[in-house]
Amino acid sequence: MSGPDLRDAPRLLSEVAQRVVSLAQTEFRLAKAEMAQSVARAGTGLAFYGAALVLSIVALNMLATGFVAWLATQGLSAVQAAAATGGGLLLVALLCAWVGRRRISAKKLTPTRSLNNVKRDMETLQEMRRG
């Protein structure tokens, strides 16, 4: 029984390296194709969100018009009914803007857990380097 021929080692290593590179390239192409598909799906989703937004605005406009008409039948003039409805909607819009601004503040968006983990990892690396 003879063992493996060591003269084949460079050729075998080269073949393994080529296959690893080929595998990595194939995986990269697959990931790229999946990303393109995901982006297309996201684009379609955004289009549906846009349509929903437009339809919601139209629906809210119709509801506000109906509310103005109802207030007018309750004894308010058309101007008073429109002012009351517009003022109420303006207050709701201001409340939404205020809540949205509080939720988007830089302090609340800071990834504190990740930053703490990175800080802890850096301290561990420094301790390993020292000791």
Q: What is the rounded distance in angstroms from the CA atom of residue 47 to the CA atom of residue 57?
A: 15
What whole-number distance in Å separates Cα of residue 38 and Cα of residue 44?
Answer: 10
Residue 54 to residue 61: CA distance in whole angstroms: 11
Segments making up each domain of the chain, as ranges: 9-59
d(CA 91, CA 25): 56
pLDDT tens-place string over residues 104-123: 876 666 777 777 777 887 88
pLDDT of residue 131: 64
Higher pLDDT, 4 or 14: 14
pLDDT in tens, 28-64: 888 888 888 888 888 898 999 999 999 999 999 999 9
